[in-house]
Structure 1
Amino acid sequence: MAIERRLAHAGFTLTRDYPVPLELLWSAFAEEDQKLSWWGAGDAAEPGEWAFDFRIGGRDVDEGTFHNGPVSRYEATYTDIVEHVRIVTTYDMWLDGVHMSTSVASLEFEPIYDGTRFTHVEHGVFFDQFQADGPGREEGTRGLLEALGNYLK
C-alpha cells in the first residue's frame, strides 16, 4: 500500500499561570535534573536515549517506548534563549522510525503578581499518514504542562 504524500499544518497557543517565581519555572527547563523530573511520558513509556544541551545551537533528544506501543523520538535544537524571558526551539518527532512532524515552538516566561505566566506557541508541519495529528500534539503539550505544574507543587 502506497503512502499518500501530503502535508498538514497545525498551530496552537497554551498559556498557564504557575504560582512560583519565574526563576523556579525557568530552572525546570534549563537544568537537566529538573527537566528529567517532569518531561516526557512518565510511567507510560520505558525511557530510551536522552540528551540535554541547553544552549543556543544545543540539541535535546528524548526517546521512549510506550508500553505495548510505539517508539516515540523527539529531537530539538535550541535556536534562541534569553534567560528568564524565552526559549525557542525547532523540533522533529518520529514514531517507530517514521518522521511524523517538524515544529517551531516558543516558550515565554512573564512574571505576574502571584507567580509566572508561561506561554507556549507552536506551529507544526505534519507529514503523510500523520496529517491529522495536530490536535494530538496540542493535547500532548497540555499533558506536559500539567506534569510541569505537578512537579512545581
Structure 2
Amino acid sequence: MTIKRRLARSGFTLTREYPAPIERVWGAFADEKQKLAWWGAGNSMEAREWAFDFRVGGRDVAEGKFHNGPVSRYEATYTDIVEHNRIVTTYDMWLDGIHTSTSVASLEFDPIEDGTRFTHVEHGVFFDQFWADGNIREKGTRGLLEALGNYLVLGA
C-alpha cells in the first residue's frame, strides 16, 4: 500500500475560566504528582511510559494503549516557562509507532476575580494519512481541559 504524502495544518484556541487561584492551576502542570492525577485518558487507556521534566529544555513523555485500540505516544519539549504566566511546548504524537503530527502549544495563565483564565493556543502540522486529525486534536484537548477542571474542583 502506498501512502499519499501530504501535510495539513490546523490551529485552535481554547479558553477556560477555572474557580481556582493561579497557583493551583499552575501547580496542576508544574507538579508531577498533580499532573498525573488529571492528564491522559483515564480508564480508557493502559499506561505504558511516563516521563516528566518540567524545566526549559525538559521533556515529557506519555504513552499508553487504548483498550482494544492503538498505542498513543506524546513527546513534548518545554521551550519557555514563566512561572504563573505561561508554558510553551513543542510536541510530537505517534499512533502505533507512526509519527502523526508536530505541534506548538502555548498555555497562558491569567488571574481573574474568581480564579484563573487559562488559554491554550495550538498550531499543528499533521502528516500523510493523519492529515484530517486537526479536529480530533482539538476534541482531545477539550477533554484534557475538562479533566483539569474536574481535578481543580474535586481533586486534592
Partner of 2:18: 18
Number of the residue aligned with 1:55: 55
The answer for the alignment partner of 1:108 in structure 2 is 108
Pairing 1:80–2:80 present: yes
CA distance in 2, matches of 1:29, 1:84: 10
The match for 1:89 is 89
The answer for the alignment partner of 1:27 in structure 2 is: 27
1:39 aligns with 2:53: no
The CA deviation at 1:89 is: 0.0
User: How far does residue 133 in structure 1 lie from its aligned partner after superposition?
Assistant: 0.2
Q: TM-score, normalised by structure 2?
A: 0.98
Residue correspondence of structure 1 range 128-147 to structure 2 within 5 A: 128-147=128-147
Partners of 1:150 and 1:113 lie apart in 2 by 20
Shift, 1:53, TM fit: 0.0
Percent pairwise identity? 80
- The equivalent residue for 2:150 is 150
Structure 1 unmatched runs, 5+: none
Q: In the TM superposition, what is the alpha-carbon distance from 1:109 to its structure 2 partner?
A: 0.1
Deviation for aligned residue 1:12: 0.1
* Equivalent residue number for residue 120 of structure 2: 120
Number of residue pairs the alignment of both structures matches: 153
Structure 1 counterpart SS, 2:133: helix
RMSD: 0.2
Deviation readout 1:9-40 (Å, 9 max, x if unpaired):
00000000000000000000000000000001
- Report the Cα distance in structure 1 between the residues aligned to 2:53 and 2:43, rounded to whole angstroms: 24
Q: In 2, Cα distance between the equivalents of 1:152 and 1:108?
A: 17
Q: Residue 115 of structure 1: CA displacement? A: 0.3
Distance in 2 of aligned mates of 1:22 and 1:151: 14
The structural deviation recorded for 1:148 is: 0.3
CA distance in 2, matches of 1:123, 1:43: 28
TM-score by length of 1: 1.00
Shift of 1:86: 0.0
Task: Deviation per CA, 1:43-84: give whole Å up to 9, x if none.
Answer: 000001100000000000000000000000000000000000
Deviation of the 1:85 alpha carbon: 0.1
